[in-house]
Amino acid sequence: MVFNTGAALLDAIVLAVVSKCVEGTYGYKITQQVRSVIEISESTLYPVLRRLQKESCLEVYDQECAGRNRRYYKLTEQGWAQLNLYESEWKTYSGKITKMFEEGVAE
């Protein structure tokens, strides 16, 4: 993709992915789902997850899987509120960009 992904958009995508699993989901699965939309490395994603946790948008818990601990991420109440804000802002922003491509800049 030729467009850069800013921090807010990346946060929104990660929150959207995590929101689809009410019980929470783990980092590798989040990475794979985000990669289906944008190119991103794990080294980029994990700092995003830590930042969202620090901002109280995600809660984290460990669960054993095949003899190892797997870290799960789940949206908090603050995370849901932030996701709703991102969705609202995205609809407005993307609508304006689409309109510009289709109709040109209104004077």
Residues 12-71 have pLDDT tens digits of 999 999 999 988 999 999 999 999 988 888 888 999 999 999 999 999 999 988 888 999
Give one word for 56, left, alpha or beta, with left for phi > 0 and alpha for psi -120 to 50. Answer: left
What is the pLDDT at residue 39?
86
What is the pLDDT at residue 78?
98
Taking a C-beta distance cutoff of 8 angstroms, is the pair 83, 19 a contact? yes
What is the pLDDT at residue 4?
73
CATH of 8-103, picked from 3.30.70.890, 3.40.50.2300, 1.10.287.3510, 1.10.10.10, is: 1.10.10.10
Taking a C-beta distance cutoff of 8 angstroms, is the pair 14, 58 a contact? no
Domain ranges of the chain: 8-103
Q: Nearest to residue 54, comparing CAs of 70, 73, 36, 68? A: 73
